[in-house]
Structure 1
Amino acid sequence: MAGTIQNRDLFLSKIAQQLGHAPKTELTRPTWQYQPQDRVLKNATKDELVEVLVNQCKYIDTEILITNTANLSNALQKVVENYGGHSVITWKDERFQSYGLSSLMTEQWPQANIQLYEWNSEQPEENIRQAEKANIGITISEITLAESGTAVLFSSKDKGRSVSFLPENSIILIPKSTIVPRMTQAARLISEKIRNGEQIASCINFITGPSNSADIEMIPVIGVHGPIKATYIVIEDR
């Protein structure tokens, strides 16, 4: 249910009077003399950003593979096997088919006794049950921050956030085209989508490798509130 704002102008006007100045009716975005946030990796090519991402994964306990769409199926299968197979949960996402993964997921995995569950917006309770028992969750990054090794996931009715949180292992497919230098560019891209009137996810998750925390005595602990292991698969899509 949408809320309403009442007597806003009157309220702000009274505050302005108490502060001794006239209320502002228009705001002008400031122009900053220095913008250091734009300088980091400013002129880096996509290939250079991939190198930065690969190096950063060494510090966030995340395996990373680089492949193309032709070899993606084989690369994904190897990661799934390394994680022990058993059960996989994925988003309901057309990109899995466009990447040529349909045969792997719907034919090869059942033959190998790997259970596949695809997120179903009409079965919310079953979705959570399947995510809790799944060994592996597979998602796709919308924006990827090279500097921090962060995958940005947009949730929706077909892309439940539990897929990246509840399974013990996480695999995130990263289209090379999604890689940007850092948070600065990610925030800008999201803002542009909003200004263009695009429907934005109600929940945007910034995920940097497996779950970890060092809140207690600065001792790193992996898997506190999410996957214990994570693998990024970079796809050469351009």
Structure 2
Amino acid sequence: MAETDREWLAKLEAQSRAKQEAFMNGIAQRLKRPRVTEAPAHPFRGAPDFWNAFEWTPEERIERFSDNWRSVGGHVARLTGYEDVRSFIAAKANEMGARYIIRQNERELADLKLEEALPDAVVSVWNSDPDTNWKARSAEADFGIVMADYAAAYTGTVAVLSSKDKGRSVSLLPTVLMIVIPAERIRTRLGEVLIGFDRAGRENLPAGIHFISGPSRSSDIENDLTIGVHGPGIVYALIVG
């Protein structure tokens, strides 16, 4: 009588485990020490206390974030208020000849009134029209404008969460990305950002959590660096306050 599929799979499993045992026993014999068959104890969990206590002042966070952001090819502008953000974006759009702009559907960005500041450009608001292909609209945009939910100074990283009003395409597809970062959202360590997601629990996580550390950078097998292949090649961090 032929073996059933279950018996055949069990036989393969047994053969595989026997080979693994022989392989590991051979390594232990060559090292001339007994095999470790139980997982070692891990008395420590997470970051050490000294790192959890590490903290920069608000001004140090801004300076360190800016230095790290620039070190990978990003641009930084330190701005006093949202009126300055509006003027900066409008000036850059005019300088670069941007005609198609898309932004997240957030109150702070709506208050910039970019439609008035850029009368010759088309300013679109993510997910404001159910009949629009918003991925395509993002791909054709010259500028994408988003709000940072968090930033980490030590790594020069911005975290942008996605939702129905905050499509990830706005930060991934346009040629130029403008990230508005309220200064109070800049933390010292990335762990300060991650712990909040852990405490929220899986059921309360957003649809996407995107970490951005400057412009898109890609290297092939010969280490030829290319900017802007998988995302915006020009990225501005606009620190407000």
Normalised TM-score (structure 2):
0.74
- Change in Cα spacing, 1:190 to 1:83, as seen in structure 2 (3 Å) is farther
For 1:152, the aligned partner's letter is: A
State the 1:137 CA deviation: 0.4
**Aligned pair 1:187/2:194, yes or no?**
yes
- RMSD of aligned alpha carbons: 2.4
Consecutive unaligned residues in structure 2, runs of 5 or more: 1-41
1:14 alignment counterpart: none
**Aligned pair 1:81/2:88, yes or no?**
no
2:104 alignment counterpart: 91
1:221 alignment counterpart: 226
Consecutive unaligned residues in structure 1, runs of 5 or more: 1-29
Normalised TM-score (structure 1):
0.75
CA distance in 2, matches of 1:191, 1:58: 30
**Aligned pair 1:158/2:165, yes or no?**
yes
**1:6-45: CA deviation from partner (whole Å, max 9, x where unpaired):** xxxxxxxxxxxxxxxxxxxxxxxx8638834862881211
State the 1:87 CA deviation: 1.2
- Change in Cα spacing, 1:83 to 1:146, as seen in structure 2 (3 Å) is farther
**Aligned pair 1:207/2:212, yes or no?**
yes
For 1:232, the aligned partner's letter is: A
State the 1:169 CA deviation: 0.8
- Contact kept, 8 Å, 2:177 with 2:232, in 1: the verdict is yes
- Contact kept, 8 Å, 1:41 with 1:181, in 2: the verdict is no
Question: Among the aligned pairs, what percent are the same residue?
Answer: 26
Of structures 1 and 2, the larger Rg is shown by: 2
Q: Secondary structure at the match of 1:106?
A: helix
**Aligned pair 1:133/2:140, yes or no?**
yes
- Contact kept, 8 Å, 1:121 with 1:157, in 2: the verdict is no
- Change in Cα spacing, 1:37 to 1:231, as seen in structure 2 (3 Å) is farther
State how 1:1-238 maps to structure 2 within 5 Å. 32=44, 35-36=47-48, 39=51, 42-69=54-81, 70-97=83-110, 100-102=111-113, 105-110=114-119, 113-120=120-127, 123=130, 126-194=133-201, 199-236=204-241
State the 1:221 CA deviation: 0.9
- Contact kept, 8 Å, 2:69 with 2:157, in 1: the verdict is no
For 1:163, the aligned partner's letter is: V
CA distance in 1, matches of 2:59, 2:196: 20
State the 1:213 CA deviation: 1.2
Name the count of aligned residue pairs.
199
State the 1:171 CA deviation: 0.6
CA distance in 2, matches of 1:41, 1:80: 42
